[in-house]
Structure 1
Amino acid sequence: MPFNPLAERGLPLDKQLRSWSELNVQPYDTREVHPYTRCRVILMNGIEAEAISFSHNFNRNTPDVELKQRLAMVRRIEQQQQKAVNWLIPAEKNENAIEVTIGYEQVAVDLTAWLARHEPDPYLKQCYEFGLLEDFDHLYRYANLMDLMGNGRRVEEITGDYTEITPGRPTIFEHRDPRDDLRRPMTKVAAHRQSVLNAMTLVSAEQQTMNYYMNFGNRPEDPLARALYLEIAEIEEQHVTHYESLLDPEMGWATNWLFHENHECWLYWSCLETEVDPRIRQVWELHLAMELEHLRIAARAVEEIEGRDPAELIAPFEAPMTFEENKAYVRQVLADQIELGSYDSEVMPVANLPSQHRYFDYQAAVNAGGSPTEEVIRRHREEFGSEYRFETEGPNPVPGLREDKDGEEIAYARIVRERVGSLEAGRSSMAAE
Structure 2
Amino acid sequence: MSFNPLRERGIPLDRQVRNWRELDVAPIDPDHSDPYTRCRIIAMNGIEVEAVLFSHQLARHCPDIDLKRHLARVRYIEAQQQKAVNWLLPGLASVLETTLAYEQVAVDLTAWVARMEPDEYLTRAYEFGVLEDFDHLYRYANLYEMIEHRKAEKIVDALTEVMPGRPTYLHHRDPVDNIREPYDRSVAAPVSKLHALTIMAAEQQTMNFYMNVGPLYMEPIARQLYQEIGLIEEEHVTHYESLVDPGETWWEMLLNHEYNECYLYHSFMETESDPRVRAIWELHLNMELEHLRLAAELFKRHDGRDPEQVLASELPKPVTFEPNKDYIRELIATQIDYTTLGTGYVQEAHERFERMQEQIMGGERAPSERVIEDNAHKSGQEYRLETNGPHPALSLRMNR
TM-score range, shorter chain: over 0.9
The question of whether the paired residues in 1 share the 8 Å contact of 2:336 and 2:393 is answered with no
Q: CA RMSD in A?
A: 1.3
Counterparts of 1:18-417 in structure 2, within 5 Å, are 18-91=18-91, 94-151=92-149, 153-315=150-312, 316-350=314-348, 353=350, 357-368=351-362, 369-389=364-384, 395=388, 399-401=391-393, 409-410=395-396, 414=399, 416=400
Residues in 2 aligned to 1:250 and 1:332: alpha-carbon distance in whole angstroms: 35
How far is 1:413 from its partner?
5.4
Residues in 2 aligned to 1:320 and 1:390: alpha-carbon distance in whole angstroms: 35
Could you list the structure 1 runs, at least 4 aligned residues long, displaced by more than 6 angstroms after superposition.
none
SS at match of 1:180: helix
The question of whether the paired residues in 1 share the 8 Å contact of 2:5 and 2:259 is answered with yes
Amino acid at match of 1:234: L
Residues in 2 aligned to 1:132 and 1:401: alpha-carbon distance in whole angstroms: 14
How far is 1:189 from its partner?
1.1
Structure 2 gaps of 5+ residues are: none
Matched residue count: 398
SS at match of 1:56: helix
- Match of residue 425 from structure 1: none
SS at match of 1:350: coil
**Looking at CA atoms only, which structure, 1 or 2, has the larger radius of gyration?**
1
How far is 1:390 from its partner?
8.0
- Match of residue 426 from structure 1: none
SS at match of 1:218: helix
How far is 1:395 from its partner?
4.1
Offset from partner CA, 1:341-399 (integer Å, 9 cap, x none): 11010012125x3xxx11101001111222000000001111111122287xx647x64
The question of whether the paired residues in 2 share the 8 Å contact of 1:156 and 1:390 is answered with no
Name the TM-score, length of structure 1 as normaliser: 0.90
Amino acid at match of 1:180: D
How far is 1:83 from its partner?
0.3
Residues in 2 aligned to 1:59 and 1:372: alpha-carbon distance in whole angstroms: 40
- In percent, how many aligned pairs have the same letter? 52
Offset from partner CA, 1:257-298 (integer Å, 9 cap, x none): 000000100000011000000000000000000000000000
Residues in 1 aligned to 2:186 and 2:143: alpha-carbon distance in whole angstroms: 45
Residues in 2 aligned to 1:16 and 1:150: alpha-carbon distance in whole angstroms: 41
Residues in 1 aligned to 2:260 and 2:392: alpha-carbon distance in whole angstroms: 40
Amino acid at match of 2:63: P
Residues in 1 aligned to 2:14 and 2:90: alpha-carbon distance in whole angstroms: 30
SS at match of 1:187: coil
